[in-house]
């Protein structure tokens, strides 16, 4: 049985997951990681954000938070079906919900839906992605004729990274956009100029922060070596901390 917590050898073709045990494990991984969900409705172009707040395999139910923007709540309340897309560690998951009911869960509004009978599991990235601690002084700058944004690295792999930017950037940055002037500041390796493509953008309303997935576009040998060195540095640090924790 595949798991989101087990690294794959590389990109895999999409496959249908029908095993209730595996579906429950995948949904609980999204719950524990607080991964963003992208909610879309048939024949509506606007997309909405949410996240899983509870999973109950015994009663075949899951709960998701209210949608952002709020307009999406009206569509669910009116009984419209919707699709959910989620990403975790290079894996894209998607499934359909025929309906959901508005409820109060632990004192807060939420939507209760049936657990999916099947979902699509697509391992898209074979590169290891390393988390970047906020204590590290990283920097990301995106510049074009229309934008000039600065933030920090959330994670990075040999093929791309996720940037953490202040405020809502979902209307500023769009999937598929190419930004030729991207500058990364990587501790241990220095400053790197590299072109990137925007893959996805999500906004965390509670933190007032945006997460922007970026794919590196044909980096030269020197730039690739800088990225690889930084990823290797993060891996070494993660292993060092794991060994330290094992002593206690």
pLDDT at 10: 53
Cβ-count burial of 70 within 10 angstroms (0-12 exposed, 13-18 middle, 19+ buried)? Answer: exposed
Residue 95 sits in the same domain as residue 163: no
Domain span holding position 195: 129-246
Residue 225 sits in the same domain as residue 137: yes
Report the Cα 106 to chain-centroid distance in Å: 25
Backbone Cα Rg of the chain: 19
Per-residue confidence band for 35, with pLDDT thresholds at 50, 70 and 90: confident
Query: 53-96 pLDDT, tens per residue?
Result: 999 999 999 999 999 899 999 999 999 999 999 987 668 899 99
CA dist 170 and 209 (Å) reads 10
* Residue entry with tokens 């999916």: 116
For the chain, how long is the longest CA-to-CA vector?
55
Q: What average pLDDT does the chain have? A: 85
For residue 42, pLDDT over 80 is answered with yes
Residue 94 lies in a domain: yes
Share of the chain above pLDDT 70, in %: 87
Residue 89 lies in a domain: yes
pTM of the predicted protein model: 0.52
What tokens appear for 76 in the block?
């669910």
- Kindly report the CATH number assigned to the domain that includes residue 90: 2.30.110.10
CA dist 169 and 194 (Å) reads 20
DSSP 39-94: EE-TT---EEEE-EEEEEGGGTEEEEEPPBSTHHHHHHHTT--EEEEEEETTEEEE
Residue 164 sits in the same domain as residue 217: yes
Query: 113-127 pLDDT, tens per residue?
Result: 999 999 998 876 556
pLDDT at 239: 67
């Amino acid at each position: 049985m595949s798991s989101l917590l087990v690294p794959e050898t590389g990109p895999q073709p999409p496959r249908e997951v029908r095993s209730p045990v595996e579906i429950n494990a995948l949904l609980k991984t999204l719950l524990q990681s607080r991964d963003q969900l992208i909610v879309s409705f048939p024949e509506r172009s606007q997309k909405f954000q949410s996240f899983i707040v509870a999973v109950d395999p015994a009663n075949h139910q899951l709960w998701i938070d209210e949608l952002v923007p709020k307009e999406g709540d009206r569509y669910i309340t009116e009984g419209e079906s919707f699709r959910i897309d989620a990403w975790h560690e290079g894996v894209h998951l998607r499934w359909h919900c025929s309906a959901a009911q508005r409820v109060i869960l632990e004192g807060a509004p939420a939507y209760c839906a049936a657990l999916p009978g099947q979902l699509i599991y697509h391992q898209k990235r074979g590169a290891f992605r390393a988390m970047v601690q906020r204590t590290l002084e990283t920097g990301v700058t995106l510049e074009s004729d229309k934008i000039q944004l600065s933030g920090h690295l959330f994670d990075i792999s040999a093929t791309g990274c996720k940037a953490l930017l202040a405020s809502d950037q979902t209307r500023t940055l769009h999937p598929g956009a190419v930004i030729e002037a991207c500058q990364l500041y990587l501790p241990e390796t220095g400053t790197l100029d590299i072109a990137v493509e925007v893959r996805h953008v999500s906004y965390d309303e509670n933190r007032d922060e945006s997460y922007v997935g970026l794919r590196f576009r044909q980096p030269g040998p020197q730039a690739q070596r800088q990225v690889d060195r930084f990823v290797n540095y993060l891996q070494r640090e993660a292993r060092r901390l794991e060994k330290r924790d094992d002593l206690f």
